[in-house]
Structure 1
């Protein structure tokens, strides 16, 4: 039940972005409000849990980089992209994040080598992405909006690599760390407000309601639910949520917004998810070792690695949209 609720909350983020934009809010306004409300929720939860924000300058410095690539840029990119691209397609583009994470890990030599399954998954996932873009087709999605959405997925991948090296497992409680990260993201995105022209008209009630839901539920509350899911049931449950996100986004786009269900996009989504699954494949010997060790022990000993699965979120909020 929790997996379904979490998938619905996260997968609906793309719907709320689209409704906010259609309601008269500019992409940057959506991003700032989303970060601010998400930060407010997490700060309240952290206070209730008696978790303190980081106090050392080094951590805050790393949080600036993490907030830029994990929140400010991708949140803004998704809002910009959805001005011209369907919300369902945005969800599918987001699903390519693990592929870019693998490619970046290989480039930086922080990931293990490519076996036949991972290589096949990478090729299959990129083929699915190409199928969705269909640059050879008149009705393809090779537009600036789609490329911006893809840039958001790449930004998440950069953030995952940076956070794994500089923030995760450094002694700060995840809830407080995520609250601090979204607080920094709010400040970063707010810097652009003086340079953003408004539409000249007040946003509609639907637009305001959508961005509030996006910030409170799609950005703040979902992190808390996801962290509880990982703590109680382990990363496999969180990975299941990640696979459901694009399915939810496509379904909601079609049912609520009347977005066309292109066969090419649906097939491309299936190919991308199959590719992601192959890149996260573990040999039977690894699975046997993981099953023989309790989950909490694996989390502290390093036997289990979340880098091998699609991540809806990392412990510090790479939030709302990422697998």
Structure 2
């Protein structure tokens, strides 16, 4: 296993790559349609993971039932959210899309409470959900009035993507994790299945003209190989070394990276309600994990014979 510095470097790389993914989508859309961006993303991610599997000499699973579950995961974790975020980023900034992505842990909690008996709602989780809900309303700008405007539709598409992520994580835990499959094999199975699905749909939904240049090609390569492929391998190493709770804190950093890159590279504007909503969402995540309540310090036991 890698040393502490190596694991820390992978954690930072995860935050940067996942935060930059929304920038890569935005640049990719300059020459590709949303469907083409999503297809290229899963295809390059599957190729990167196939290379990792070949290097490690890991066999693919032979259970038809497992492949069936991976097909479901490929829709919820790859095809649907990638399409939704790619479509939405035609109209919203990459920074705002990255902030919406931070709602994933809270939506995961909702599905987990409904499906997994061990994940029932507790007082800290309810508090976290309420804070997250307030953050979502702040992001949408509910005070402007709720209507079926195009802007609201785009924002709901971002939330639809994170809803898919939340359902996918619970589905993975319920139906895939108990089978003990190698995490990299699972990642390859879901990205490869999503590639096949989107490739079959491409003649109907990905026929727009393609305009490639170096920035578009490099962005889509980075989005697939790094953000959708190797990042999963890095995340597996971080979880194994630090544990799932500490590893999940990368969620707090990705919107920061996304917003900063959007401002510095694409000169995107930032409205006050976007960082304010992000703060409420992050506070909701912290509250749901019981990290906003200070732990009580137990007094040291009196030495024997002092009474």
Where on the TM-score scale, by shorter chain, does this alignment land: which range? 0.7 to 0.9
Task: Report whether the alignment pairs 1:94 with 2:105.
Answer: no
Look up the match of 2:15.
7
Match of 1:117 in 2: 124
Q: Which has the higher helix share?
A: 2
2: distance between equivalents of 1:28 and 1:54? 29
Task: From 149, 160, 167, give the equivalent of 1:151.
Answer: 160
Distance in 1 of aligned mates of 2:257 and 2:277: 15
CA–CA separation in structure 1 for the residues paired with 2:276 and 2:115: 31
Q: CA RMSD in A?
A: 2.2
**Structure 2 equivalent of residue 19 of structure 1:** 27
User: Is the CA contact (8 Å cut-off) linking 1:135 and 1:141 kept in structure 2?
Assistant: no
Structure 1: where are the runs of 5+ without partners?
289-323
How many correspondences in the alignment?
285
- 2:72 corresponding residue in structure 1: 65
In the alignment, the residues of structure 2 paired with residue 78 and residue 267 of structure 1 have an alpha-carbon distance, to the nearest angstrom, of 21
In the TM superposition, what is the alpha-carbon distance from 1:115 to its structure 2 partner?
A: 2.7
SS in 1 for 2:236: helix
Q: For residues 85-129 of structure 1, give each alpha carbon's deviation from its aligned partner in whole angstroms, at most 9, with x where no partner exists.
A: 111111111111111112222333535443322211110100011
**Which shifted more, 225-234 or 270-279?**
225-234
Partner residue, 1:314: none
* 2:139 alignment partner in structure 1: 132
Corresponding residue for 1:190?
A: 199
Judge which range, 71-80 or 94-103, deviates more: 94-103
Distance 1:226 1:82 in 2: 25
The answer to whether the 8 Å contact 1:133/1:141 transfers is: no
Query: Unpaired runs of 5+ in structure 2?
Result: 1-7, 299-307
Return the alpha-carbon distance in structure 2 between the equivalents of residues 265 and 32 of structure 1. Answer: 29
Q: Does 1:180 align with 2:189?
A: yes
- Asked if 1:212 corresponds to 2:221, the answer is yes
| Structure 1 residue ranges, 4+ long, deviating more than 6 angstroms after superposition | 282-285
User: What's the counterpart of residue 105 of structure 1?
Assistant: 112
1:266 alignment partner in structure 2: 275
Partner of 2:36: 29
TM-score by length of 1: 0.83
Higher Cα radius of gyration: 2
User: Match of 1:38?
Assistant: 45
